[in-house]
Amino acid sequence: MVTPLMADHSPQARAAEGFDKSSFRIDWTTRTVRCPEGSTSIGWHPVTQHGLDAIVVEFDRWDCRACPSQKRCTTSVRGSRMLTLRPKEAHEALARARTEQKTKTWKDKYALIAGIEGTVNQALDITGLRRARYRGLQKVRLQHAFSATAINIIRLDAHWTDHPLRRVRTSRLERLAYKLTA
């Protein structure tokens, strides 16, 4: 499956100069994390969140309160930064995928797939292709041929009139997959 991971929506990732997860260096052997200001975490707590394994990393509140970059890092009332990580394999796979999806090769590949998926969505929405309107294989085959012809004409018209193509929808499955892995 070639599909983009949804963006990191944490306040730190959305802020112009915020410290998102990728700003931290994780040492899986010693179970510690080093922050961009050079402080080392003081807590590494394996937990279960929504039925999945996760690790909550805790930084010392006195380090964070005295930190010149605190505003870029945390908005917590306690004043200290907490990080939630996935287990090592999942975390590294996510990081790899996020890096890869910024490359031109990946974007070109996804653009191709997005065009195909857009066409499939259009066929389903416009011609109601999910349901057979008739009984009998021959009639259903004829329905498919009519649907394909209609879609070809619609897309040719879009091509000739520079009409923008459909955007790809983010399915519930994709959104759920993100929720489980982010």
Q: Which residue has the tokens 């080093």?
A: 34
CB contact at 8 A, 6 and 175: yes
What single letter denotes the amino acid at residue 46?
P
Which residue, 37 or 117, has its beta carbon nearer to ligand SF4? Answer: 37
The least CB distance from residue 69 to ligand SF4, in Å, is: 5
Helices 104-127 & 137-160 angle (0-180, nearest 10): 120
Query: Which residues lie below 8 Å from residue 5, measured CB to CB, with a gap of 6+?
Result: 94, 97, 98, 101, 178, 181, 182
CB-wise, 81 or 166, nearer to ligand SF4?
81
Dihedral angle computed from the Cα positions of residues 92, 94, 96 and 98, in that order, rounded to the nearest 10 degrees: -150
Q: Which is nearer to ligand SF4, 33 or 123 (CB)?
A: 33
Instruction: Kindly state the smallest distance separating residue 93's Cβ from ligand SF4, in Å.
Output: 25
Report the C-alpha gap between 158 and 154 in whole angstroms.
Answer: 6
| Least spacing, CB of residue 87 vs ligand SF4, in Å | 21
Which CB sits closer to ligand SF4, 73 or 168? 73
**Buried b / exposed e along 151-179 (16+ C-beta atoms within 10 A):** beebbeeeeeeeeeebebeeeeebeeebe
Q: Which is nearer to ligand SF4, 44 or 59 (CB)?
A: 59
**Contacts to ligand SF4 by CB under 6 A:** 19, 35-37, 39, 59, 63-64, 67, 69-70, 73-74, 81
Q: In angstroms, give the least distance from the CB of 112 to ligand SF4.
A: 41
User: Smallest distance from the beta carbon of 50 to ligand SF4, in angstroms?
Assistant: 25
